[in-house]
Amino acid sequence: MGIIANISYSIANRYIDGKFRRANMKRRFHDSDRYYIEYWDNETEGKPVFLIVHGLGAKTKYQWFDQLKVIKDDFRIIIPNLLHFGETRPKDAKHGVQDQVDMLQFLMNELGVSTYHLMGASYGGLISGEIANNYPDQVEELFLVDAAIKYVYESDTERIKKLFNVPSVPEFFVPDSYHGLKKLVAASLGKKGIVPPAFTMPKFHEELYAKNFEDKRQIVKSLMSIREEYEQHEYSFKMPVHLFWGEHDQLIPPDRGKRFWEHLDQKATLDIIDGGGHMPNMNKAREFNRLLKGYLGI
């Protein structure tokens, strides 16, 4: 089983690395007295910037590889790892949503980027929504994918525990075994997603959680503690906004996307992607990319 797990890990990473290489994405690090930040950047000059933010389930490399080919010729693409994901870490304890916002603001300032297109999924959608709401002059266009924004309720805790047979929400989103990781991947891809068997996942689990397991658990606990606060946030975006939701998202169901669209007075587009799970950019990449290209006009 160990040999199969190692081979599966190697094959998957070669496949994803190939997509990054063809998009000319370069792995970069930025060290300062506040953060150590890992990010990828195609460093294209003379093009608008596209900042893309990952969710809770994995680091950025494993969430956005299927979108690179769509936008690589038209944008400078920057895809960082958030705090406590990959090699990115703060120099002191930081686990809140605002801490992630501050880190991304810092990175873009350090890179000399003043305006950009912005896309975030799930937890990254909440972070992206906060950036766009608080710094509207920076964001030219906003894309939110199954975003954990505003309409996440206390009742979701018991619903998720029961639906996925887990003892707690932190244990679901930050699993302590590769069997738990399979359950999280299955939930992210949805009912029609192709989920690898658990025995292929030990190396992925080690990579994702060995260095920052407790910090990631703390992120989830922090999210749960401020849920009511963020439910009260009012969002009024100045830039074009596009909402994407997977039809079969069991974590943040599509009715939440409809509620958020109504909260925005329907001043946004809303696409419910047939057969999509919580990460429709992954399990329905072709349809997602078609919509993305249409809105970008490329």
Q: Contact 139/118 with Cβ under 8 angstroms? A: yes
Give the list of residues 6+ apart from residue 138 with CB closer than 8 angstroms, or none: 108, 114, 115, 116, 131
**Which helix or strand (DSSP H or E) is residue 280 part of?**
helix 280-283
pLDDT band at 192 (very low <50, low <70, confident <90, very high): low
User: Mean pLDDT throughout 45-65?
Assistant: 96
Residue 41 CB burial class (10 angstroms; 0-12, 13-18, ≥19) = middle
Structure tokens at 68: 């690179």
- pLDDT class of 270 with cuts at 50, 70, 90: very high
Tokens for 94, please give them: 């930081």
pTM more than 0.85: yes
Q: Using CA atoms, how far apart are residues 247 and 39, in angstroms rounded to an integer?
A: 30
Q: How many CB atoms lie within 10 A of CB 144?
A: 28
Residue 175: which of 206, 144, 134, 151 has the closest Cα?
A: 206
Per-residue pLDDT tens digits for 107-143: 999 999 999 999 999 999 999 999 999 999 999 999 9
Find out if CATH 3.40.50.1820 is the number for domain 10-155+230-296: yes
Q: Report residue 163 as tokens.
A: 């639906």
CB-based contacts of 64: which residues, under 8 Å, 6+ apart?
52, 54, 79, 281
Query: What is the identity of the amino acid at 225?
Result: S
Positive or negative, the CA dihedral 84, 119, 12, 176 is positive
pLDDT tens digits for range 66-80: 999 999 999 999 999
Across the chain, what does the average pLDDT equal? 96
Q: What is the pLDDT of residues 198-252, one digit of tens each?
A: 888 999 999 999 999 999 999 999 999 999 999 999 999 999 999 999 999 999 9
Structural contact between residues 109 and 66, judged by C-beta atoms closer than 8 angstroms: no
Strand 139-145 to 89-90 pairing: unpaired
The percentage of residues in the chain with a pLDDT greater than 90, rounded to a whole number, is 93
Q: Which two tokens stand for residue 200?
A: 């292929």
Tokens of 252: 């943040």
Q: Is the per-residue pLDDT at 183 higher than 60? A: yes
User: Per-residue pLDDT averaged across 176-181, rounded?
Assistant: 95
Sign of CA dihedral 173, 255, 192, 53: negative
Residue 57's pLDDT is 83
- pLDDT at 1 exceeding the cut of 80: no
pLDDT band at residue 174 using 50, 70 and 90 as cut-offs: very high
| Phi, psi (rounded to 5 degrees) for 295 | -70, -30
Enclosing H/E stretch for 17: helix 2-22
Give residue 20's pLDDT.
98
Q: Which residues contact 287 (CB under 8 A, 6 or more apart)?
A: 273, 274, 276, 280
Whose CA is closest to 199, among 56, 5, 3?
5
User: C-alpha angle with apex 241: 27 to 46, nearest 5 degrees?
Assistant: 45
Q: What is the distance between the alpha carbons of residues 16 and 26, in angstroms, rounded to a whole number?
A: 13
> What is the percent of the chain where pLDDT is above 70?
99
Comparing 172 with 193, which gets the higher pLDDT? Answer: 172
Residue 116 and residue 132: Cα distance in Å, rounded?
10
Tokens representing 21 are: 């290489």
